[in-house]
Amino acid sequence: MLKFDVVVVGAGGAGMMAALSASKDKNLKVAVLSKIFPTRSHTGAAQGGINAAMGYRDNTDSTEKHFRDTVKGSDFLADQDAVEFFTSRMPEIISELDFYGVPFSRDENGHVAQRPFGGASSPRTCYSADKTGHVILHALYEQCLKNKVQFLNEWFLLSVVVENGEFEGLVAMDIREGKIYPIQAKSVVIASGGFGRIYWSRTTNAINMTGDGTAACFEAGIPIKDPEFIQFHPTGLAQTGVLLSEACRGEGGYLINRVGERFMARYAPEKMELGPRDLVSRSIETEIKEGRGFGEGMTSYVLMDLRHLGEKKIMERLPQVRELAMEFEGVDLIKEPVPIRPSCHYTMGGIHVSDFETCSTPIDGIHAAGECCSVSIHGANRLGGNSVADVVLFGKYAGIGAKESAKRRIFGGTTKLEQEATEWNAKFKAIRENTVGTSMFDIRNRLAETMWYNVGIFRTESDMAKALETVDELIEEYKDAYAGDPAEKYNMAFINYVEIGNILKLARAVTMGALNRKESRGSHSRGDYPTRNDEQFLKHTLIYKNGNKYRLEYAPVKITKYQPEERKY
């Protein structure tokens, strides 16, 4: 049987940081498992930057201010001890990344450059032009090559195996060979990224962001924390969901409906298109809902019109935006408006991390970092630039935590590992042999539609109750859905099948969390409960899965310094 001291699942920013710190102990056998080649990971998509109070651009900035901004941004749902730990260590991490060769943009003094970002009281977002995540991902990969980290590329995590509360290891598939392996391990770091794909086409996330690690932990008995908090971005391209920069609105773009109105006049007569993200998102969806959008169903949209700015201004100020619209939507902004619609951008919730210093979950030996989990430093709403920061910082500490766990723990039993591998083999065989049933893509699309309309930007009791029913039906239908590829080797249809199973499980948790949180807080906005209710809901949702049963509990939020107050900007 394959055996490692530490296994890291995921090779994005969080996974590679974890691998680098775990493999510092040369006596430990460490492996990184990734379903895609490491540099394809979604961390590469982050453009804007990474937050750290370096104080280079504004010497009045401090880790304390970063702490306060993050807590306020989270609508007071973040755990303040964790946030303080995070903000106070971020400056070191930036220097470490610099030392790893990350090509940061520079200021006139030769320091890492910083820019202002939404929700930040000082300009503290470090960046590399518009490719911050990309260059961090590549530098970390280079460091892994240098340090001879062992990668198992195109290996897919199927399950995390826990027997009587003890972590035993993992079951994973080598996609290229089509073979399923039990893997014994003393500890694991799950760093498998977010699950924005529950909304399928309406997300800025890469197509593989299906929350596999989150679903595997959920299945293994670890609760999911605060899944109902999902961040939406108002301007995703209509066809693909690809993010269209906020700069369009910033530079004075108009939002136009089917009858040619600048409809923001109805919702934010003063600020118009420059209203806050969530308000703009809700306004666009209202227009579509009330029949003033273009197109139909999931492909409906409104227009972002920049033509009045003129060719010169567009070319000067928004050349990249123009190129993006041209490449991905086939539209030249100088001549035509571009179809847009809000898109799911980030999942605040995830695997319940119960100890932020080691990123341990409630099960000894299982650690988690990055978007797949919730520490929680983002609470009900993540600030721009805080996620890549989260990923590298907690990735590092999760790696150290897993290293210590591995030194302390011994290998567990193998019976359940063997048994789960056998079950997955049987499932693989059955899916390959199946020639009938509803197409899995159809199930995926219906899930997205239900989630988008009922557990998306608007949420009400009756809509969400409807969604819960639909999701349950889809989970039933999924069991004998049709994947369509009989091959053993490189069977991506099977992989997609498992991924769709995972988003179904997670979508159910999102819906359940949202239904039960009868208040509006951060990204969770309910028409029937429009205000925040600290008395009842200043607490974390924890959802457990036991077979087909889901159970919901609440856990207290850690408040150390900042008492909740109204969140106004």
Partner 1 sequence: MEKITVKIKRFDGRESYYQKYEVPYEKGKTILWLLTMIREEQDPTLNFTSACRHAICGSCAVQINGNAFLACNTSLDEVLDTYKTMNLTFEPLKNFDVIKDLVIVWEPKMEKMEKVKPWIIPSEKGSNEHGFLQSEEEFHQIAAPTDCILCGVCASECNQLAVNQEGYLEPFILNRAYRYIVDSRDGSPQDHLQPVLENDLWKCLHCMQCVSQCPKSIPLTDQIAYLRSSTMQMGAVNNQGAKHAYAFHDDVKNKGRLNETMLPIKTDGLVQTALTKIPFALRMIKKGKINPLHMPKQISGIHEVRRLYEYAEEVKS
Ligand X SMILES: Cc1cc2nc3c(=O)[nH]c(=O)nc-3n(C[C@H](O)[C@H](O)[C@H](O)COP(=O)(O)OP(=O)(O)OC[C@H]3O[C@@H](n4cnc5c(N)ncnc54)[C@H](O)[C@@H]3O)c2cc1C
Binding site for partner 1 (CB under 8 A): 36-37, 39-42, 44-45, 92, 94-101, 103-112, 128-129, 131, 134-135, 138-139, 142-143, 145-146, 153, 176, 206-208, 239-240, 242-243, 324, 326-331, 441, 483-487, 489-490, 492-493
DSSP string, 493-507: HHHHHHHHHHHHHHH
218 and 504 Cβ atoms separated by less than 8 Å: no
Strand partners, 169: 161, 184
Our CA angle for 229, 231, 232, nearest 5°, is 135
Span of 10-18, 294-302, 306-314, 412-420 interacting with ligand X by CB under 6 A: 10-18
How many whole angstroms separate alpha carbon 534 and alpha carbon 564? Answer: 8
DSSP SS3 for 372: coil
Site for ligand X (CB under 6 A): which residue of 75, 212, 278, 463? 212
Please report, for residues 1, 61, 66, 443, the alpha-carbon distance to residue 475 in angstroms, rounded to integers and kept in the order given.
33, 49, 42, 9
191 touching ligand X, by CB under 6 A: yes
Pick what 330 binds: ligand X, partner 1, none; C-beta below 5 to 8 Å, kind-dependent.
partner 1
57, 277, 282, 526: the active-site residue: 277
35 and 212 Cβ atoms separated by less than 8 Å: yes
Tokens of 352: 């319940």
339 touching ligand X, by CB under 6 A: no
By CB under 6 A, what part of segment 389-418 binds ligand X? 389, 391
Q: How far is the CB of 157 from partner 1 (least distance, A)?
A: 17
Pick what 219 binds: ligand X, partner 1, none; C-beta below 5 to 8 Å, kind-dependent.
none
Pick what 561 binds: ligand X, partner 1, none; C-beta below 5 to 8 Å, kind-dependent.
none
By CB under 6 A, what part of segment 114-173 binds ligand X? 133, 156-157
Span of 33-41, 56-64, 463-471, 523-531 interacting with ligand X by CB under 6 A: 33-41
Between residues 14 and 94, which has the closer beta carbon with respect to partner 1? 94
Q: How far is the CB of 56 from partner 1 (least distance, A)?
A: 11
Tokens of 492: 């991506």
Query: For residue 216, what is the enclosing H or E element?
Result: helix 212-219
457 and 282 Cβ atoms separated by less than 8 Å: yes
CB neighbour class for 202 (10 Å; exposed up to 12, middle 13-18, buried from 19): buried
350 touching ligand X, by CB under 6 A: no
How many whole angstroms separate alpha carbon 302 and alpha carbon 300? Answer: 7
Q: How far is the CB of 107 from ligand X (least distance, A)?
A: 19
Q: Is residue 277 annotated as part of the catalytic site, yes or no?
A: yes
Site for ligand X (CB under 6 A): which residue of 93, 388, 500, 557? 388
Span of 97-105, 188-196, 355-363, 437-445 interacting with ligand X by CB under 6 A: 188-196
Span of 38-46, 331-339, 478-486, 541-549 interacting with ligand X by CB under 6 A: 38-46
491 touching ligand X, by CB under 6 A: no
Site for ligand X (CB under 6 A): which residue of 192, 235, 300, 361? 192
Please report, for residues 30, 80, 319, 367, 482, the alpha-carbon distance to residue 5 in angstroms, rounded to integers and kept in the order given.
6, 32, 49, 13, 38
Pick what 114 binds: ligand X, partner 1, none; C-beta below 5 to 8 Å, kind-dependent.
none
542 touching ligand X, by CB under 6 A: no
386 and 377 Cβ atoms separated by less than 8 Å: yes
334 touching ligand X, by CB under 6 A: no
Which one-letter DSSP state was computed for residue 243? B
Pick what 469 binds: partner 1, ligand X, none; C-beta below 5 to 8 Å, kind-dependent.
none
Q: How far is the CB of 557 from partner 1 (least distance, A)?
A: 33
Q: What distance lies between CA 313 and its chain's CA centroid?
A: 34
Q: Radius of gyration over alpha carbons of the chain, in Å? A: 23
Torsion sign across C-alpha atoms 192, 194, 195, 201: negative
Between residues 128 and 374, which has the closer beta carbon with respect to partner 1? 128
How many whole angstroms separate alpha carbon 193 and alpha carbon 70? Answer: 21
- Site of tokens 């610099």: 98
Between residues 260 and 486, which has the closer beta carbon with respect to partner 1? 486
Question: Residue type at 291?
Answer: G
How many whole angstroms separate alpha carbon 503 and alpha carbon 203? Answer: 13
Q: In terms of Cα–Cα distance, which of 503, 401, 514 is closest to 455?
A: 514
385 touching ligand X, by CB under 6 A: yes
Tokens of 233: 């971005």
Site for ligand X (CB under 6 A): which residue of 23, 41, 235, 454? 41
Pick what 15 binds: partner 1, ligand X, none; C-beta below 5 to 8 Å, kind-dependent.
ligand X
DSSP SS3 for 345: strand
Our CA angle for 474, 480, 482, nearest 5°, is 95
Pick what 129 binds: ligand X, partner 1, none; C-beta below 5 to 8 Å, kind-dependent.
partner 1
Between residues 192 and 381, which has the closer beta carbon with respect to ligand X? 192
193 touching ligand X, by CB under 6 A: yes
Span of 39-47, 179-187, 414-422, 509-517 interacting with ligand X by CB under 6 A: 39-47
How many whole angstroms separate alpha carbon 275 and alpha carbon 277? Answer: 7
Q: How far is the CB of 74 from ligand X (least distance, A)?
A: 14
Between residues 303 and 503, which has the closer beta carbon with respect to ligand X? 503
465 and 489 Cβ atoms separated by less than 8 Å: no
Which residues are known catalytic residues? 277
Can you give the binding site for ligand X, defined by CB under 6 A?
9-15, 33-36, 41-43, 45-50, 133, 156-157, 191-194, 204-205, 212-213, 243, 345-346, 370-372, 384-389, 391
